[in-house]
Homo-oligomer: A and B are copies of this chain.
């Protein structure tokens, strides 16, 4: 099985712009990528990064500047047995990824919070992705259209793509990897306000 990690190298994580400067967003997104690559390697597989432009990372990389959907569909067309794991799954662990990789079905989908598809395995030659909108529901439909059997992987760790400031608390609670360390060094810690847990930043409110 090839395991491919798409990475957006140009102005990454714009929805974190309210709490992180552009260079910080880039550093943090690379720290999350490192965590994802490490977790994949710990399952005994060798990940490849599919990036929109060349980056400094210790892994094989393929540069494809097109949007996510056509770039991933070319990867799926290359080889029948493929896993696609998003680069911002900072909570991913080897156990959780092993659960994804070893679920035996034509198509295995890990939904993201908000209806996205954060990770998937395809073992069907005709399955293709469409990441626009509620891609999880679209992928269920596409799998049905090509008569592929499909299973959901029910995982909070894989459902948590780190997109917004409210997601940072999840990293501080559930990870001790590079991304969590980066946040702590940048001054983030957990705080409880009106019964809700948030990641807040020293000296920046």
Least CB distance, A65 to chain B, in whole angstroms: 19
**A166 CA to B163 CA in the complex, in Å?**
15
Known pairs A154-B96, A154-B155, A156-B159; A170 contacts B134 (CB<8 A): no
Q: Classify the interface of chain A: helix, strand, loop or mixed.
A: mixed
**A134 CA to B113 CA in the complex, in Å?**
20
Q: Is B174 within 8 A of A134, CB to CB?
A: no
> Number of A residues contacting the other chain (C-beta, 8 Å)?
30
Q: When the two chains form the complex, which single residue of B111, B154, B196 contacts A173, counting CB atoms closer than 8 Å?
A: B111
Task: Decide if A17 is an interface residue (CB 8 Å cutoff).
Answer: no
Task: Decide if A187 is an interface residue (CB 8 Å cutoff).
Answer: no
Known pairs A115-B173, A169-B114, A169-B115; A192 contacts B134 (CB<8 A): yes
Least CB distance, A85 to chain B, in whole angstroms: 15
A-B contact sample (13 more), CB < 8 A, given A116-B197, A134-B197, A156-B156: A93-B154, A111-B174, A113-B156, A114-B197, A115-B197, A132-B195, A133-B195, A133-B197, A134-B173, A134-B190, A134-B192, A154-B155, A155-B156
